[in-house]
Amino acid sequence: DAGVIQSPRHEVTEMGQEVTLRCKPISGHNSLFWYRQTMMRGLELLIYFNNNVPIDDSGMPEDRFSAKMPNASFSTLKIQPSEPRDSAVYFCASSPQGLVYEQYFGPGTRLTVT
């Protein structure tokens, strides 16, 4: 079975541009998580969905960030406008159901904002 799929793997953009990161969770998993990894702050949970509904978005840094999950097999994380401090690796993870079960991580998207 395919694991969590993320695209693109690398993204370089200029400050002020819109960035959209994409994630396809493992088929049959009902929960999806977006994380951000930086040297300064480590790995932080930004938002998670259960059955396509956002449950906890308290980790979203500010209004420039938004996440959607229009169906069970696709989610996006959008940054608009992007800033250099948004440069990080963004991971998507999925689990069978909620917080209790093991999370399976995608390979990440490395975002560089110049």
Partner 1 sequence: GNSVTQMEGPVTLSEEAFLTINCTYTATGYPSLFWYVQYPGEGLQLLLKATKADDKGSNKGFEATYRKETTSFHLEKGSVQVSDSAVYFCALRGSFQKLVFGTGTRLLVSP
Among 21, 23, 26, 45, binds partner 1 (CB under 8 A): 45
Separation CA 31–CA 40 (nearest Å): 27
Between residues 57 and 81, which has the closer beta carbon with respect to partner 1? Answer: 57
* Number of residues this chain uses to bind partner 1 (CB under 8 A): 17
| Nearest distance from C-beta of residue 91 to partner 1, angstroms | 6
Per rule CB under 8 A, is residue 25 in the interface with partner 1? Answer: no
Exposure class string for 25-55: b at 16+ Cβ within 10 A, else e: bbeebbbbbbbbeeeeeeeebbbbbbebeee
* Contact (CB, 8 A) for 108 and 23: no
Among 19, 31, 108, 111, binds partner 1 (CB under 8 A): 108
Per rule CB under 8 A, is residue 102 in the interface with partner 1? Answer: yes
Residue 40 per-residue DSSP state? T
* Contact (CB, 8 A) for 112 and 11: yes
Residues that bind partner 1 (CB under 8 A): 4, 42-43, 45, 48, 56, 91, 93, 98-100, 102-103, 105-108
